[in-house]
């Protein structure tokens, strides 16, 4: 059986949703590659502290209307996996203030996490660069 990243994402998202009771984030568009709005913050090697409000920022192009969903990814850039839903169906206005819960493991450095932005209307997605989380 060949397992694709999209299949793995859908399975992990469904599992997280069943545990948390939240609706799963939309699956990214198949085979389109990352074509959604660029995510600017957190930036490469930035360390985001838990328990403190943090503003995630993204560009308003090429998709400027509708809603987006944000998912925290854990692991190296070459093999990051969905860790938790940050927000689903938030207004696509270029930013979202997130307070990382203190249950997120410390990255022990400035890499180990990423964020995936998904445009809810069409599944277009984009990733941040690697950043750290301090706990």
Question: Using one digit for the tens of pLDDT, what is the confidence trace for 56-79?
Answer: 999 999 999 999 999 999 999 999
- What phi-psi label fits residue 62: left (phi over 0), alpha (psi between -120 and 50 degrees) or beta? alpha
Q: Which domain holds residue 34?
A: 5-134
pLDDT-above-90 percentage for the chain: 75
Question: Using one digit for the tens of pLDDT, what is the confidence trace for 89-100?
Answer: 999 999 999 999
pTM: 0.78
* CATH code, domain carrying 108: 2.60.40.10
Question: Using one digit for the tens of pLDDT, what is the confidence trace for 98-113?
Answer: 999 999 999 999 999 9
Question: Using one digit for the tens of pLDDT, what is the confidence trace for 23-58?
Answer: 555 666 565 689 999 999 999 999 999 999 999 999
Number of domains into which the chain is organized? 1
């Amino acid at each position: 059986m060949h397992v694709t990243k999209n299949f793995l994402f859908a399975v992990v998202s469904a599992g997280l949703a069943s545990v948390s009771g939240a609706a799963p984030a939309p699956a990214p568009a198949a085979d389109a590659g990352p074509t959604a709005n660029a995510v600017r913050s957190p930036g490469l090697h930035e360390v985001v502290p838990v328990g403190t409000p943090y503003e995630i920022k993204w560009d308003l192009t090429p998709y400027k209307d509708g809603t987006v969903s944000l998912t925290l990814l854990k692991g190296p850039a070459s093999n990051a996996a969905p860790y938790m839903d940050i927000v689903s169906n938030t207004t696509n206005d270029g930013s979202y203030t997130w307070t990382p819960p203190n249950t997120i493991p410390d990255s022990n450095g400035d890499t180990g996490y990423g964020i995936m932005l998904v445009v809810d209307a069409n599944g277009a997605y984009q990733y941040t660069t690697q950043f750290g989380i301090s706990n």
